[in-house]
């Protein structure tokens, strides 16, 4: 079998970004069927998962950079605002952010456990063993 054609890093990046099969094909220089085939390969699946995790970490970093400023503003609203509706909305935002942060942390932990499990499975496998 010859060398595989197309740009794998572009395929991984576009898959991680949630692009359509056609968009992934254009970005990577692969046919739609090649994209589908490559996306079913365990090594490619792992690379897409890693890229998604990195994108999530970067997005979380950007959000966290604004967090202190937002919380300071919300704290001021809670201290100074007399409208119950405004205070309740500020509280809702704080609680929603806390929930989203917890979810992202849990997703990262699950992904790490899946990686660890793959490593254990690979360590226990030997040539000729059914996978």
pLDDT by residue for the chain (131 residues), tens only, comes to 446 788 999 999 999 999 999 999 999 999 999 999 999 999 999 899 889 988 888 887 777 777 777 778 878 877 886 688 887 887 787 777 777 777 777 888 888 888 888 888 888 876 655 55
Half-sphere exposure of 23 (CA within 13 A, CB side): 9
Residue 108's Cβ-count burial label (10 Å; 0-12, 13-18, 19+) is: middle
pTM, full prediction: 0.56
Give the DSSP H/E element, type plus range, for residue 79. Answer: helix 42-80
CB atoms closer than 10 angstroms to residue 30? 22
């Amino acid at each position: 079998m010859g060398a595989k054609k197309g740009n794998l890093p572009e395929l991984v990046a576009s898959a991680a970004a949630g692009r359509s099969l056609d968009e992934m094909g254009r970005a990577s220089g692969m046919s739609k069927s090649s994209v589908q085939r490559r996306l079913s390969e365990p090594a490619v699946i792992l690379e897409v998962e890693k890229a998604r995790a990195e994108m999530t970490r970067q997005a979380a970093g950007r959000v966290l950079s604004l967090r202190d400023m937002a919380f300071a503003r919300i704290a001021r609203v809670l201290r100074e605002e007399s409208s119950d509706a405004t205070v309740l909305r500020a509280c809702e935002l704080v609680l929603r952010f806390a929930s989203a942060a917890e979810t992202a942390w849990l997703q990262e932990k699950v992904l790490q456990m899946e990686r660890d499990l793959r490593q254990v499975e690979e360590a226990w496998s030997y040539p000729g063993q059914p996978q």
